[in-house]
Structure 1
Amino acid sequence: MLKERVEPRISVNKLGEYAATNSATRRRRIVLDQKKPKDFIVSRYSDAQDLVADFLSGNLDYEDLLDKVDEFRNTTASTDWQENRNKVCAEALLSFIDMADKLDFGSLVLTKGEQTPPRLLVQSVSVSIKPELLITKHKRSGDSVAGAVKLHMSKSYTMSDNAGSYAATMLQQFVEANSQFPCDRRLCYVVDVFGQRIFTAPRSHIRRRKAIEASCEEINRAWPEL
């Protein structure tokens, strides 16, 4: 059963896709899915996302992830939905394990993000960022800077260069608005697990933020008509 959201809102990864595509049909579909989301879209990968966050924050190791893959594969599901969810979570973990060596955070301090963090309001659209991990870097000077990690898990859609850059730009904006320390854009990572790519917030963001604002203005106008 579909639920309908009254106020315009969108997730950061979908906003990145929206801003990057020129297809009016695809844009309409993205907004419609955000207004009337199916439950499985929201929660399908949540277990895998939590496990990857635990791994990156140092609470799990490779063997733990492989054990979880076996657990997903061997657990008897009571519904087709649960069976499919176990399957895609196992696949997500295996894809992440293949790319995990690209993520070397060195001496950075990583902590798991809040379950209900603040949203960003852009042109009357509520943008859900919800980073899985928050980053703090303590510099030798005694100062500290901040960043974050946002995971993207979707077998059906892997991020393009533009979509990843837009999402990372929004992640940087979230850190700027919510961290006690100055944001270092180089510490703002969007990780596309199935695409096995890592996007970092770009040096130049003014044009991208204007494009994001224009996208949100379009979403706000389209929302009542869908």
Structure 2
Amino acid sequence: MKTRTAIITITAIASAALLHAEPTMQPNAESQKTLTPDSVLAELVAGNEAYVAGKTADPNVKARRDAAVAGQFPKAYILSCVDSRVPVEQVFNQGIGDLFVGRVAGNIETTEQLGSMEFAAVVGGVKVIMVVGHDACGAVKGACDHVKMGNLTELLAQIEPAMEKVEGHAGDRSSKNTEFVNEVIEKNAALTVEDIRKRSETLANLEKEGKIKIVGGVYSLATGKVTMLP
């Protein structure tokens, strides 16, 4: 019931925020102090809704760039795939200084990514860490086909646990089976969220204290919508 209530609350806040699709003013220390994990998540959801609806507004890039020289006060860390079709800041209608963005094929939590997240949360002050997978992910397809190619081989091996968690599809568990691939994509994002908590005591404790939220979602290339995972 608490989860359902939280989702309803976030949705309500996001709907209200959608009426003001333009990104917030240049982040600063004072504005960052007023943020909560729920308010940031709601803003990201609303920003994505604005992106889907084509109602995004470009912030004053020069003013933001100039102001950002003095320091950064971001609200979230987004871990996404390297796919060029997923422009993270645009997807969430955010501007310069709003987000830390970490990218790696298959949006997996490498040691380097975990260290970056810890920096973002402890030093940078972010309130949300979000893992964003996407449909038609080449890394996931490669893992499903057991591709072996240089350093990519080790990376794809880290997606195999998600494949093993997906049941069924006995006839075809390869990239040719779109339904199977999509299930692996969703499971991979969910497992990455779980692994962040397991592998980073720092982040897990911050979440337990209510200082951050660690969440996951899957981006649709066709619609632009990020569907949040339960």
TM-score by length of 1: 0.27
Higher relative contact order (CA 8 A, sep 6+): 1
TM-score scaled by length of structure 2: 0.26
